[in-house]
Amino acid sequence: MSTNSLVAYLNEDGSVVSSYVHYDGYATGVGEMLLEHYNSEERASDLAWCLGYASSLRETISESHEDRANTDEAIVHASFEEFEEYIRENSYLEYVYVWTSTKWFVGSYTLEVEGVGRYAEYNSTWNGWEELVTVYVREGNETVKRYKTMVSEGKVGTEYLEYARELKNSVELLTA
């Protein structure tokens, strides 16, 4: 299953350019990659304009293009309001990242399922915008706890402890 996301850049004229990332859109996936490799005005702008479509976000745009499923171009929205309307109309986008002059912000949807099977109803709720660093720290800490619990309960192998250690170190670097 994929976690769909957009990476976007707010231009000086108020327009927004956005590109799509199909997999790993959560804060400890795409969000972490943004903080580690695209955390400057120039890199964020290049990413939003040049990525277009990526199956997954990698350290460089060219690496991100290596296994992409199609060659869609970036989308330009005339205003931030138009961009937000696009997001609301496309609630399959679980995470949306936008660079605004000095830092990344992230918005997300929460999906609630009522009922089961073909009678289930899916309700998406927009959670609004937060600084990416804040969300990354919160979700990173939650993921570390979840992985440790899964290992202790025997649900997954001990290799998850190594990822939990790496993620904990990354989170601690941001909070130091």
161's tokens: 């402890």
pTM assigned to the model: 0.90
- Per-residue pLDDT reduced to its tens digit, 25-56: 999 999 999 999 999 999 999 999 999 999 99
Pairwise CA distance, residues 172 & 55, whole Å: 29
- Per-residue pLDDT reduced to its tens digit, 128-160: 999 999 999 999 999 999 999 999 999 999 999
Mean pLDDT value across the chain: 94
Alpha carbon of 30 to those of 21, 42, 70, 149, 158: distances in Å?
8, 18, 19, 24, 24
- Per-residue pLDDT reduced to its tens digit, 55-108: 999 999 999 999 999 999 999 999 999 999 999 888 688 899 999 989 999 998
Helical ranges in the chain per DSSP H = 32-37, 41-50, 61-65, 80-89, 132-152, 159-175
